Structure 1
Amino acid sequence: MARLAGEAPDFVAISHGDDVVTRRTLERRSNRLARVYLGEGVTFGDYVVIALPNGIDFYVAFFAALKVGAVPIPLSYRLPITERQAIIDLAKAALLVGVNAGDHPGYAVLPSGFEPDDSVSDEPLPEVISPAWKAPTSGGSTGQPKIIRAGAGAEASPAINQLLFRYTSADTQLVVAPLYHNSSLSMSVGGLLLGQHIVVMDKFDAGETLRLIEKHRITWLMLVPTMMHRMYRVIESGGARDLSSIRILWHAASKCPEWLKEKWIEMLGPEKVLELYGGTESIAMTVITGEEWLRHRGSVGRPIVGDMKVLDANGEEAPAGEIGEIYMKGSEGMGLSYEYVGAEARSLNGWETLGDLGWKDEDGYLYISDRRVDMIVTGGA
């Protein structure tokens, strides 16, 4: 961040509605807030809960935590108090950002809208490397909340994002999902550290998403199928916008209806529509291009990070076309991609499962068919 601010201090790093923040201001505001965190007693390796809505303040708070060597836990600002309390107690959080002080007695709190006093220095802090750059949460199929802590320290090059997710410093990224979701958090932080301009929405709205793509000439974005469906309905009903700026559209998080994916491929071109499957744990990941998908309709691709196999009820690898539970293994020599706080991984002979069911075709392409346990999905969540 400091390097980018030095190279182009007046470059707009984040746009949020009518508000913008330059690289220099983002750097200075996060420095100042980091000093406030230190004053509140946050030390190296502590958890800092960030329960703020999408916007510039979220990123300032997130980077401030990393600058003091803490581990940020992004949470929904609308989470019921009892659910939030369970996560806070699980993490033994050192600081809560964006909540009401009276809701969580005994914890240090900075409320939503907090601004440090101007007397607090905004100069760079001594460099320190957080032991984990993020720790998002999940209830998932386990019922009880758990923390999914990144397995490695916050020291890396965003070049991995550049290669894997096909974005560059010249891209303008639209952030449409809540920042407490792993994909929107990871993609936007990676984009910021590459030097992108990030356009952040309060919450998803199909018409507004289409308007912002046209207004900001968005080149890169990630959606979930629910969003794609709602946007397509707007387009189909005559609310079309100029989508020609889009260079890459990713989708993930759930199975996409084949007819819907085909419509987006027709609108944008198969080379622009990509899909990934993996999970917040990032053990392994598949990717499929639009061109591949047209040859393997319904597939989520083949592993490009780590490996995946489909096991039957006896723990044996299922033959092509037979449904079983999907197990994953990380890339050799890469180390752990995550660790759970408050849960145990389900594993078999060094392979782990997130509870998804699926099958592979003769060419090794993976297809998702179901979940091991029933879940209720509403509005894409």
Structure 2
Amino acid sequence: DDSAALARVLHDAGLRPGDVVALLSDNAPEALVVLWAALRSGLYITAINHHLTADEAGYIVSDSGARALIASAALSELAAPVGAGLPLRLAFGGDIEGHGCFEEALAMAGPRLTEQPCGAVMLYSSGTTGFPKGIQPELPGRSVEEPGDPIVAIAKALYGIDGSDIYYSPAPIYHAAPLRWCSMVHALGGTVVLAKRFDATATLAHIERYRVTVTQMVPTMFIRLLKLDADIRTRHDLSSLRAVIHAAAPCPVDAKQAMIDWLGPIIYEYYSSTEAHGMTFIDSPDWLAHPGSVGRSVLGVLHICDDDGLESPVGEVGTVYFERDALPFRYLNDPEKTAGAQHPDHPTWTTVGDLGRVDADGYLYLADRKSFMIISGGVNIYPQEAENALALHPAVLDVAVIGVPDPEMGERVKAVVQLAEGVCESDELAQELIEHTRSRIAHYKAPREVEFIEELPRTPTGKLVKGKLR
């Protein structure tokens, strides 16, 4: 009822199918109301990372063409300066300057809309230039009540999601997987339990308390759970769990094996992307037979291609493409980047730049990730943003930002700095550079350590050879 009321409010504010509603929220139930209001109005919903700066969030609101912004009062400092001049700005859970009251708007909403065209999720993923890119799928072209969503069908077929399931979502709702999974579970009649944030001990208590049947995590969460004392891990009744799903980042083989040993063969993995251009899937028995694999394709036809676009032989590493019947997405306002994701000879084959190989049985093994991208705690971080910020510091002559192995986060952000002439390295300067970066971009994108070197490796044409730094 609340999402139907909000759909009416958005309609009365002038939003029509194809328009964008932006969301700035922590893990609050109202976020799912906004999600479903968009999905039943033919709108795109753009959930924004609330760890961004106001300028970064404002860029996304502007670039997306959003005509409405709905924000949590818990994020008032971030939300207040964002989206001024939009036809509609609403705040829930309290007041935000320049925003109307979400709860009052719903209470005063007109009758339910008679037509409910299905909307879609349009999230932003940082580009290698440092500017976020909107990933825009085609609108489904059907009513929200009609079947036909391939992701929902996959969730039902592979995981058996139905109205009896209780899904526990511990990850931030602004990420693609948590947002889409919450919508899928709701679409299939299940119940969603939103955690404000991930805490390993609290997660086990919540699973027991709410009799959780399905949850999704990233490998960093697995590692934190495994590091709990044995008495904590055995204190709670986890017998309700029937599916623990993971994705978002490579999972260390030993960690996954330990999770299976602990919880049994209920660990499932899929490989996909924010672009949702394809998907692989693997369950525990298959993974035990093919350790390290991310499974076989369940959405799209998998192709591994060499640098010339030719299909690679079995077992050889190449670029991972998924073939679909039509182009599954475009990068908003960036036709060049969209074209770069397409195979040169097959426009409906798309890639996000990952490298991998396929064995004789069709199982995919990832060999690398998008060039230079850092995955820390399941979050994609593009080094260019930190490099751009550090390059402005007077002590820096040249800089490269890379990911280095981290036993808990998978990778952590590290800056490798060539100092300007006459500048001496010191621990104090390293900390100053970290703080300098944090003052300009979101903290999680900033380096956690700095190494000083005499000269960065570059080719005669000026191209940075990051492989030599790893």
Instruction: Name the TM-score class by shorter chain.
Output: 0.7 to 0.9
CA contact (8 A) 2:22 2:45 kept: yes
1:59 aligns with 32
**Residue of 326, 329, 349 corresponding to 1:338:** 329
Quote the residue 1:109 is aligned against: 89
Which region of structure 1 is more displaced relative to structure 2, 62-71 or 296-305?
62-71
Which one of the candidate residues 36, 58, 63 is aligned to 1:85?
Answer: 58
* 2:356 paired with 1:358: yes
2:137 match:
150
Q: Within 5 Å, which residues of 2 pair with 1:113-152?
A: 113=93, 114-117=102-105, 120-121=108-109, 123-130=111-118, 132-139=119-126, 141=128, 143-152=130-139
Measure the CA separation in 2 of the matches of 1:183 and 1:126. 30
Equivalence for 2:302: 308
Q: 1:165 to 1:280 in 2, by over 3 A?
A: farther
Q: Which runs of 5+ in 2 are unaligned?
A: 94-101, 380-470
Q: Does 1:69 align with 2:63?
A: no
Is the contact between residue 359 and residue 366 of structure 1 (CA under 8 Å) also seen in structure 2? Answer: yes
**CA distance, structure 1, for counterparts of residue 137 and residue 377 of structure 2:** 27
The 5-angstrom pairing of residues 1-381 of structure 1 reads 27=1, 29-98=2-71, 100-107=79-86, 108-113=88-93, 114-117=102-105, 120-121=108-109, 123-130=111-118, 132-139=119-126, 141=128, 143-153=130-140, 155=143, 156-157=146-147, 158-234=152-228, 236=230, 238-240=232-234, 241-270=236-265, 272-330=266-324, 332=325, 335-343=326-334, 344-345=337-338, 346-348=341-343, 349-350=345-346, 351-381=349-379
Q: Which amino acid aligns with 1:43?
A: R
Partner of 1:11: none
- Of stretches 221-230 and 158-167 in structure 1, the one that deviates more from structure 2 is 158-167
Counterparts in 2 of 1:119 and 1:305: CA distance versus 1, 3 Å: closer
What number of residue pairs does the alignment pair up? 349
> Are the aligned partners of 1:278 and 1:286 in contact in 2 as well (CA < 8 Å)?
yes
Residue type at the aligned position of 2:139: A
Q: Which range is displaced more, 87-96 or 338-347?
A: 338-347
1:185: how far off? 1.0
Paired with 2:281 and 2:59, the residues of 1 have a C-alpha distance of 35
CA gap of 1:71–1:103, structure 2 versus 1, over 3 A, is closer
Secondary structure at 1:190 match in 2: helix
Distance in structure 2 (CA, Å) of the matches to 1:117 and 1:281? 33
In 2, the alpha carbon distance for the partners of 1:148 and 1:216 equals 34
- Give the whole-Å Cα distance in 1 for the aligned partners of 2:105 and 2:303: 54
Deviation (angstroms), 1:200? 0.5
CA contact (8 A) 1:284 1:303 kept: yes
1:36 Cα offset (Å) = 2.8
1:168 touches 1:196 (CA, 8 Å); kept in 2?
A: yes
C-alpha distance in 2 between matches for 1:299 and 1:141: 27
Deviations 1:42-85 (A, max 9, x none): 23321000111111111112222334432211112332112112
Following superposition, the deviation at residue 122 of structure 1 comes to 6.4
Residues 137 and 147, structure 1, Cα contact 8 Å, conserved in 2: yes
Judging changes above 3 Å, is the alpha-carbon distance between structure 1 residues 378 and 280 closer, same or farther for their aligned structure 2 residues? closer
RMSD between superposed Cα atoms in Å: 2.2
Which protein shows a greater Rg?
A: 2
After superposition, the Cα gap between the structure-2 partners of 1:323 and 1:61, relative to the gap in structure 1 and judged at 3 Å, is: same
Question: Is 2:62–2:83's contact at 8 Å kept on the other side of the alignment?
Answer: no
Over 3 Å counting, the alpha-carbon distance change for 1:117 and 1:91 in structure 2 is: closer
Task: Give the AA of the match of 1:151.
Answer: E
Contact 1:50 1:61 (C-alpha < 8 Å) held by counterparts: yes
Q: Distance in 2 between matches of 1:229 and 1:291?
A: 21
| Identical-pair percentage | 34
More moved, 208-217 vs 164-173: 164-173
Relative to structure 1, the CA distance from residue 265 to residue 374 in structure 2 (aligned partners, 3 Å threshold; closer, same or farther) is same
Structure 2 CA distance for aligned equivalents of residues 60 and 47 of structure 1: 15
Greater RCO, 1 or 2 (C-alpha within 8 Å, sep 6+): 1
TM-score, normalised to structure 1's length? 0.85
Q: Distance in 2 between matches of 1:279 and 1:372?
A: 11
On the 8 A contact 1:32/1:116 being kept in 2, the answer is no
> How high is the TM-score relative to the length of structure 2?
0.69
Please, which moves more after superposition, 150-159 or 245-254? 150-159
More moved, 272-281 vs 157-166: 157-166
Contact 1:321/1:360 (<8 A) preserved = yes
Q: 1:185 to 1:257 in 2, by over 3 A?
A: same
Q: Secondary structure of the equivalent of 2:103? A: coil
The Cα shift of 1:160 comes to: 4.4
Q: Confirm or deny: 8 A CA contact 2:45 2:121 kept in the other structure.
A: yes
Q: For 2:104, what is the secondary structure of its paired residue? A: coil
